């Protein structure tokens, strides 16, 4: 696939969780340290994201909603560049095309800009009092694309996807404090103190996070590190195995199984570890055929990485077994 295929429009916003993902990534790109997310009816009624990032200058607000106006992509290696999650310059345009969007943004406390768009049309912009940062309110998602609306699953399924995305972003950014509320109830809250284990406590609970083991390992091409649960504190689903490359979450079947393999026979059948693993690597080793919005990626030297992950986890668990009564 060519790069232009990879960035093809219209594939960005498939469901409410895609909106949450893109807007939360924008907040992170804007160097926010606090990101507060509120959703109602699994995002179909309302998605609100408030950040304390750098904001947008008044004259740049209309441009931010233009497709590709801000595309920063230069080479495929940028896909896994550590410094920026956004690169296609089409998320805001795509969201505004299929919803009712209000943005309030300011680069300093004081005066800011409020813009209202619906179905891709910029209806109003005005000056407004605002704190530094950006607030996006998305209502009536897919109001003008009934086929897309039909495709959206039950609210429980959609909410689970939103929770999953926010949790994964939080794990990739322990320096950012996230809150996620659904229908008025707090769903997750992370501390944002820069400590991954503390972030895990906000997501999985204090006792689960505390019992996890830190591990690391490296070879010439990869550095892996993260937290894994003890073999007797596993979960019934492998969705609790989270993988990141350079802080960006990915899905990869073989690497997920490398984590499981690290436990060898210590795992009970049908039980999976709770694990979060970050892989630091040269972005050039990520397969260029990866689709930027689909998290499934292929890597060159995948078998080598697989072995490194399994072995690092195995060694860490072996070390633990040396402690009596552990
Ligand atoms: P991309 O993130 O790929 O550049 P987007 O459509 O997501 O494209 O955003 C367009 C531009 O709007 C961004 O490049 C950024 O300059 C600006 N922007 C979007 N969200 C925010 C935000 N929360 N804070 C500051 N600037 C933002
Ligand atoms: Mg973006």
Residue 29 lies in a domain: yes
Atom 14, ligand 1: residue with shortest CA distance: 70
One domain for residues 145 and 22: yes
One domain for residues 215 and 185: no
One domain for residues 99 and 233: no
Provide the domain count of the chain. Answer: 2
CATH number at residue 241: 3.30.230.10
Taking a C-beta distance cutoff of 8 angstroms, is the pair 20, 35 a contact?
no
For ligand 1, what atom is nearest to the CA of residue 90? 6
One domain for residues 297 and 253: yes
Atom 15, ligand 1: residue with shortest CA distance: 64
One domain for residues 11 and 148: yes
Residue 283 lies in a domain: yes
One domain for residues 149 and 243: no
Q: Which residues line ligand 1 (CB under 6 A)?
A: 22, 26-27, 29-30, 51, 53-56, 64, 70, 86-93, 134
Range of 253's domain?
211-321
C-alpha torsion sign, points 79, 248, 103, 101: positive
One domain for residues 121 and 63: yes
Residue 202 lies in a domain: no
Helix (H) or strand (E) segment spanning residue 248: strand 248-250
Atom 27, ligand 1: residue with shortest CA distance: 26
For ligand 1, what atom is nearest to the CA of residue 22? 7
Closest by alpha carbon to 244, among 220, 227, 261, 262? 227
**How confident is the prediction along the chain (326 residues), in pLDDT tens digits per residue?**
334 333 433 467 889 999 999 999 999 999 999 999 999 999 999 999 999 999 999 999 999 999 875 555 555 555 565 455 655 678 999 999 999 999 999 999 999 999 999 999 999 999 999 999 999 999 999 999 988 888 887 899 999 999 999 999 999 999 999 999 999 999 999 999 999 999 999 999 999 999 999 999 999 999 999 999 999 888 999 889 999 998 888 889 999 999 999 999 888 889 999 999 999 998 888 874 556 555 678 888 999 999 999 999 999 999 987 555 43
Classify 83 as helix, strand or coil. coil
Residue 129 lies in a domain: yes
One domain for residues 165 and 88: yes
pTM: 0.87
């Amino acid at each position: 696939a060519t790069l232009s295929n990879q960035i093809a429009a219209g594939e960005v916003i498939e469901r409410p969780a895609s909106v949450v993902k893109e807007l939360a990534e924008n907040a992170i790109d804007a160097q926010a340290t606090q990101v507060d997310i509120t959703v109602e009816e699994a995002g179909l009624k309302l998605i609100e994201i408030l950040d304390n990032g750098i904001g947008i200058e008044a004259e740049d607000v209309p441009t931010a909603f233009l497709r590709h106006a801000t595309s920063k992509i230069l080479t495929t290696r940028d896909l896994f560049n550590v410094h920026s999650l956004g690169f296609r310059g089409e998320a805001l345009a795509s969201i505004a095309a299929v919803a009712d969007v209000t943005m309030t943004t300011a680069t300093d406390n004081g005066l800011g800009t409020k813009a209202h768009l619906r179905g891709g049309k910029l209806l109003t912009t005005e000056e407004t009092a605002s704190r530094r940062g950006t607030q996006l309110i998305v209502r009536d998602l897919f109001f003008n694309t009934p086929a897309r609306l039909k495709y959206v699953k039950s609210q429980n399924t959609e909410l689970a996807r939103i929770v999953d995305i926010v949790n994964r972003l939080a794990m990739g950014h322990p320096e950012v404090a996230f809150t996620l509320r659904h229908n008025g109830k707090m769903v997750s809250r992370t501390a944002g103190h820069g400590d991954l284990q503390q972030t895990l406590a906000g997501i999985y609970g204090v006792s689960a996070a505390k019992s996890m083991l830190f591990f690391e390992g490296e070879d010439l091409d990869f550095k892996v590190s993260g937290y894994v649960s003890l073999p007797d504190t596993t979960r019934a689903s492998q969705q609790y195995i989270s993988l990141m490359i350079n802080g960006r979450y990915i899905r990869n079947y073989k690497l997920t199984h490398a984590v499981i393999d690290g436990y060898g026979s210590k795992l009970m059948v049908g039980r999976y570890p709770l694990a979060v693993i970050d892989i630091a690597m040269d972005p050039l080793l990520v397969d260029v055929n990866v689709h930027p919005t689909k998290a499934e990626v292929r890597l060159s030297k995948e078998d080598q990485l697989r072995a490194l992950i399994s072995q690092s986890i195995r060694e860490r668990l072996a070390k633990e077994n040396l402690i009596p009564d552990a």
